[in-house]
Amino acid sequence: MPMIVNVRESRSWCAPRAAVRRLSGRAAAALLTATALLGGLTPDARADAPERTASPSRLQQDADALRDTGVTGVSVRLTTGHETRTVRSGTGDLSTGRPVPPGGYVRIGSNTKTYVATVVLQLVGEGRLSLDDTVDRWLPGVVRGHGNDGRRITVRQLLQHTSGLPDYIGEVAPHPSATEYRSSRWTTYTSAQRVAFALRHPPTFEPGARWKYSNTNYILAGMVIEAVTGRSWEHEVRARILRPLRLTHTFAPGDDPYLPRPHAVNYQQFAPGAPMIDTTLAYLPFDGNADGALISTTADTNTFFAALVQGRLLAPAQLAEMRRTVAVPGDPATPPGRRYGLGLSWFPLTCGGGYWGHSGDGYGYLLWPAATPDGRTAVTVSLHSRPGDPDTAIRQIRATTELIDHALCDVRRSTDGGRHG
């Protein structure tokens, strides 16, 4: 068993008062959790499709193979038009050996960006802004410094990561380590502060010249939503997506670093051979904004991505814009041919065609959802640990994408002989 250092999640910690103060939604999230637990149900037990725990199958074998790459705990949820299958592997707590809870809460990280992009595109459809608006049109003077200029960057370029803006993450986590995690995890920053951190650096490239992922883009997208509507991005996501789809187990936690129960423990190994550190508590310097704040479940995540690609959240013109992609530079961890739209990624399948999704990770977790183009099949894979060396990280991501590829291709073959999706 790996060496473990427990940073146990406890309400008795003497945390700074501001760090444990819930912003809007705390009472609602607590009520939802209490309702689920008092009823003897996990958050995902309300799924519309019949659910069964998968018997030994390729889905289970692939989850076990992912565990064997060194992931402490894995959970997978596969939803088709006929049924929902769940498999788990590994453990949800290295100290006790308890299994990964079925339907537990998870951090979804950068999958938050897809929700934010959806809201922006809804506002475009309402005629309240344009994808070709400059950032300066809505946030005058905010993006200035070291060659960065919001007068030359469009809303589309923010959503597609073609703005050239530097990423603020390096400023708030300059030396990832267990010490930094413990000492800085309660620190909070405003959106404006995060943008200011990024603007200490020159642009990565000229706006529109190429693609490079930058979390700063979505901090600004959240600020644009507020400038257009007069309400926070969290409010708009809740009103426009979560309520209509009845995603009652998805929420933005504000500055509250705790995961509701039930949940698996998340572990981060900060260096090769280093101990596994319990990082279930959020790292607030980068877990708390429009680039990656949301908490959800695999059931809600499947529902959201399926509804999105089915056109239940966006009008056809805006969904087409979201799915207008650019090439993404080669990545040794992912299959060749990945492309990026507006907050939505396209990944090829070995059986032809591909799927829409995203991915999101942070200290101790990785969540990877995928939906076929017609939305009839969706799968979400949740990993509850992250390794300390790049080679292992690459193996784990490859095992994740292989699991998704097998799951979606197997469903296609079993339903219509290869024509589905």
Catalytically active residues, by annotation: 110
List the structure tokens of 416: 């219509």
Is the distance from CB of 387 to CB of 406 less than 8 angstroms? no
Q: What is the largest CA-CA distance in the chain?
A: 59
Contacts of 53 (CB under 8 A, 6+ apart): 85, 86, 87, 102
What is the Cα–Cα distance from 274 to 3, expressed in whole angstroms? Answer: 8
Contacts of 253 (CB under 8 A, 6+ apart): 22, 23, 25, 26, 29, 282, 288, 293, 295
Element (H, E) at 78: strand 73-79
List the structure tokens of 398: 């490859």
Q: What DSSP character marks residue 275?
A: P
List the structure tokens of 258: 């705790």
Comparing C-alpha atoms, which of 394, 409, 355, 384 is closest to residue 76? 384
Contacts of 190 (CB under 8 A, 6+ apart): none
Q: How many CB atoms lie within 10 A of CB 188?
A: 15
Q: Is the dihedral of CA 163, 166, 167, 172 positive or negative?
A: negative
